[in-house]
């Protein structure tokens, strides 16, 4: 499968947007970790803005950045949302409620805990009525999302936005499922090259293909290993370097997603 990368959005610890993060990803500047900071999207109405938790903020910030750089219309773009755990804070709050005597669960909490909550907020923010998919594949969620999005691009011959995000669980759940940072990434993929194209990806599926690609920088490798959505970092680093490479991204069990990256510049 072939897909052209038309836009990239990025928000994470020390990674404040794609353009600002390119030097560190390419190895031209040292990577400096810092707490992830992202505000609620101004595109949301006031009520939804107050209710949107960190996972929704991550998804919207990365997605809007990627689409704006692509020059495409968010309202007409199909989407694939992928996350290993979605809104961990609301899951934690619901469990706390269920552990009390009255076991009353807030409808707003439940509304935000479902796995496609980010897709719902996205449709409100962008007025998008195009098809949307929300999926999860544990630590391989980014690879599974990329495979799904690339499949849609190949079959439908229409651009698709892939949006991946993860956020840590509070204690005590964090001890059982550790996600080390808040992180969001988005790729706008298209079937044909345009003036905005950053790279072309040739994507295939392989079984027992060896270890997944890693980051050279120790800090970025710790981020890649500690956050499922950050499994995208080897791909972003190669696009930032502007040089061709063959990467292996994590998929379930012993399988890998083979991604051959060729710059368009």
Condensed to tens digits (0 to 9), the pLDDT of residues 2-12 reads 999 999 999 99
User: What's the total number of domains in the chain?
Assistant: 1
Contact 196, 240 (CB under 8 A): no
Report the DSSP pairing between strands 160-166 and 183-190. Answer: antiparallel
Q: 126: Cβ–Cβ under 8 A, 6 or more apart, which residues?
A: 43, 64, 74, 75
264, part of any domain:
no
Report the DSSP pairing between strands 132-135 and 160-166. Answer: unpaired
Q: Sign (positive/negative) of CA torsion 84, 90, 93, 95? A: negative
Burial of 147 (0-12, 13-18, 19+ CB in 10 A): buried
Gap between the Cα atoms of 84 and 174, Å rounded: 13
147, part of any domain:
yes
Q: Which of 16-30, 66-80, 98-112, 208-222 has the lowest mean pLDDT?
A: 98-112
* 84-95 pLDDT, tens digit each: 988 888 888 888
251, part of any domain:
no
Gap between the Cα atoms of 214 and 235, Å rounded: 10
263, part of any domain:
no
**Is residue 65 predicted with pLDDT exceeding 80?**
yes
30, part of any domain:
yes
Gap between the Cα atoms of 147 and 51, Å rounded: 31
191, part of any domain:
yes
**Is residue 47 predicted with pLDDT exceeding 90?**
no
260, part of any domain:
no
Gap between the Cα atoms of 4 and 193, Å rounded: 6
Cis peptide before 172 (omega within 30 of 0): yes
**Is residue 233 predicted with pLDDT exceeding 80?**
yes
Q: Name the CA dihedral angle for 219, 222, 226, 228, rounded to a multiple of 10 degrees.
A: 80
Neighbours of 131 (CB within 10 A): 13
Task: Write the CATH number for 193.
Answer: 3.40.47.10
Boundaries of domain holding 103? 2-197+215-242
34, part of any domain:
yes
* 109-161 pLDDT, tens digit each: 887 888 899 999 999 999 999 999 999 999 999 999 999 999 999 999 999 99
**Is residue 231 predicted with pLDDT exceeding 90?**
yes
Question: Residues 160, 41, 235, CA angle at the centre, nearest 5°?
Answer: 40
């Amino acid at each position: 499968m072939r897909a052209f990368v038309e836009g990239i959005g990025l928000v994470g610890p020390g990674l404040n947007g794609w353009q600002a993060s390119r030097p560190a990803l390419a190895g031209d500047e040292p990577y400096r970790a810092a707490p992830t900071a992202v505000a609620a999207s101004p595109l949301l109405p006031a009520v939804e803005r107050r209710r949107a938790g960190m996972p929704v903020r991550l998804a919207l910030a990365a997605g809007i950045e990627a689409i704006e750089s692509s020059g495409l219309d968010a309202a007409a773009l199909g989407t694939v949302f992928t996350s290993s755990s979605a809104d961990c804070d609301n899951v934690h709050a619901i469990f706390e409620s269920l552990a009390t005597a009255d076991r009353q669960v807030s409808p707003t909490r439940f509304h935000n805990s479902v796995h496609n909550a980010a897709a719902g907020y996205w449709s409100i923010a962008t007025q998008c009525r195009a098809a949307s998919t929300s999926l999860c594949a544990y630590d391989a969620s980014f690879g599974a999302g990329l495979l799904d999005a690339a499949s849609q691009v190949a079959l439908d011959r229409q651009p698709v936005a892939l949006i991946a995000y993860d956020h840590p669980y509070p204690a005590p759940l964090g001890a059982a499922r550790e996600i080390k940072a808040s992180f969001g990434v988005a790729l706008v993929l298209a079937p044909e090259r345009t003036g905005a194209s950053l790279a072309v990806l040739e994507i295939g599926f392989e079984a027992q293909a060896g270890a997944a690609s890693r980051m050279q920088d120790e800090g970025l490798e710790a981020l890649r290993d500690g956050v499922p959505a950050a499994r995208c970092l080897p791909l972003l680093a190669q696009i930032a370097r502007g040089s061709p490479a063959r990467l292996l991204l994590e998929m379930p069990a012993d399988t890998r997603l083979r991604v051959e990256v060729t710059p368009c510049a």
